[in-house]
Amino acid sequence: MSFITGVGLTSFGKHEGSSSLDLMSKAAQAALDDAGLKRSDIDGILCGYSTVSPHIMLATVFAEHFGIRPAYAHAVQVGGATGLAMTMLAHHLVDAGVCRNVLVVAGENRLTGQSRDASIQALAQVGHPDYEVPLGPTIPAYYGLVATRYMHEYGVTEEDLAEFAVLMRAHACNHPGAQFHDPITVADVMASKPVAMPLKLLDCCPVSDGGAAFIISRERTGETGVRIRGCAQAHTHQHVTAAPALSELGAEISIARAKDASGLAISDVRYAAIYDSFTITLAMLLEDLGLAGRGEAAARVRAGHFGRDGAMPLNTHGGLLSYGHCGVGGAMAHLVEAHLQMTGRAANRQVRDASIALLHGDGGVLSSHVSMFLERVR
């Protein structure tokens, strides 16, 4: 058993003059304060990777910078699934008795510390070196290809995808730390600049500065405990040219394993925190995870199903699409928001019931998946 005892999150957007280590430190200290722990209480650290500061020993670089001497340190790299993969590893470390309190932290100054060309170059290198990179695509292009196929197979339209961007922006408007606070409409999404058709600018997450952190502990520290009930991974491919059929992607595999590990069903879930790098990512994952039928997620958005007051509140902080995306820390914001909801601290974003939460992270081009169930205990 393990508990998420503290969470920390910076605002996302521009943090002029802040390095990746600065942003990580700010989030880490906030998580420690939230857990009621001191730096000396941390005996394990898990750190995400950074494209701005690509040090080969980033976990121990941060430990030195933050002034801790952990008995266990490790850096993890599975793309957008890294945050939940680190949480899963921390859960196992604590459950096995290797550590008592593991600090999970990530952050980057991608917006102010990395040029546009450097960012594009980094994103371009995820492709297969022989079959993809020479043709010049970047991550948006790969997701554009996936979107085209998904739309063809399941009758999804560009307007359907736009609904997810509108919902995430509406949620971000209620969070003071979000990068964007201006409401948008489906028409605004449709009129935004083409990036990799059918994906347009507002179908894509922004580049952000920011940091996120949380503490995974063997024992709870607050009145309300949030424990990891069960989690699982699935890795079906790395490159899109080697991807299986849309009906055989890893989210369906990881959620089935997580349900077995937790003893829970989708019908038990009261709050959802789902990776949303692009609108097509969110649409597909909601359907792969069983939160909507094939091709039906957009209709549920229109009906208010995924709104704050709906039957399945989703990414109430605004998600990657509107809270922002600072690399590994971007998806970690989903867990921070879930924790706030589960402990009744989400202010004007608070949902009626967040007793059981489902989190899902996606790395690469729907390549690596982590599904996780959290449970509130009194």
Which pLDDT score, from 0 to 100, does residue 264 have? Answer: 98
Averaged over 82-99, what is the pLDDT?
98
Residue 247 has what pLDDT?
85
Q: Which of 38-47, 75-84, 131-140 has the lowest mean pLDDT?
A: 131-140
What would the pLDDT profile of 153-181 be if each residue is shown by its tens digit?
999 999 999 999 999 999 999 999 999 99
pLDDT at residue 378 greater than cutoff 90: no
**Would the pLDDT of 66 be above 90?**
yes
What pLDDT, in 10s, does the model give residues 21-30?
999 999 999 9
CATH code for the structural domain at 3-114+208-217: 3.40.47.10
CB 21 within 8 A of CB 113: no
Report the pLDDT averaged over residues 121-146: 90
Amino acid at 325: H
Closest CA to 145 of 194, 198, 192: 198
Distance CA(244)–CA(250), nearest Å, equals 9
Q: Tokens 């939460």 appear where?
A: 357
pLDDT higher than 90, residue 111: yes
Domain ranges, ordered by start, for the chain = 3-114+208-217
Whether the pLDDT of residue 122 is over 90: the answer is: no
Q: Please, which pLDDT band fits residue 10 given cuts at 50, 70 and 90?
A: very high
What confidence tens digit (pLDDT) does each residue in 203-213 have?
999 999 999 99
Quote the strand ranges of 240-334, DSSP E: 271-274
When pLDDT is averaged across residues 282-304 and rounded to a whole number, the result is: 98
Residue 119 vs residue 329, higher pLDDT: 329
Q: Give residue 290's pLDDT.
A: 98
pLDDT by residue (tens digit) across 146-158? Answer: 999 999 999 999 9
Give the pLDDT mean for 33-57. Answer: 95
Name all contacts of 335-339 with Cβ < 8 Å and 24+ positions apart.
335/4, 335/7, 335/83, 335/84, 335/87, 335/212, 335/214, 335/273, 335/359, 336/7, 336/8, 336/9, 336/212, 336/214, 337/273, 338/271, 338/273, 338/374, 339/4, 339/7, 339/214, 339/226, 339/374
Q: What is the pLDDT of residue 103?
A: 98
Reading the block at residue 51, the tokens are 């494209």
Per-residue model confidence (pLDDT) at position 123: 79
Q: In which residue are the tokens 């979000």 written?
A: 178
**Alpha-carbon gap, residue 345 to 351, rounded angstroms:** 10
Dihedral angle of Cα 226, 231, 235, 236, to the nearest 10 degrees: -120
* pLDDT above 90 for 116: no
Residue 1's pLDDT band (cuts 50, 70, 90)? confident
Kindly state the DSSP code that residue 223 receives in the 8-state scheme. Answer: S
Is 117's pLDDT higher than 90?
A: no
Instruction: Determine which of 26-30, 79-83, 246-250, 287-291 has the lowest per-residue pLDDT on average.
Output: 246-250
User: How would DSSP label each residue in 130-180?
Assistant: TTTGGG---HHHHHHHHHHHHHHHH---HHHHHHHHHHHHHHHTT-TT-S-
User: What percent of the chain stands above pLDDT 90?
Assistant: 93
CB 334 within 8 A of CB 81: no
Please name which of 309, 347, 96 lies closest in space to residue 216, comparing C-alpha atoms: 96
Residues contacting residue 102 through CB under 8 Å, at least 6 positions apart: 42, 43, 44, 45, 46, 72, 90, 93, 94, 215, 216, 217
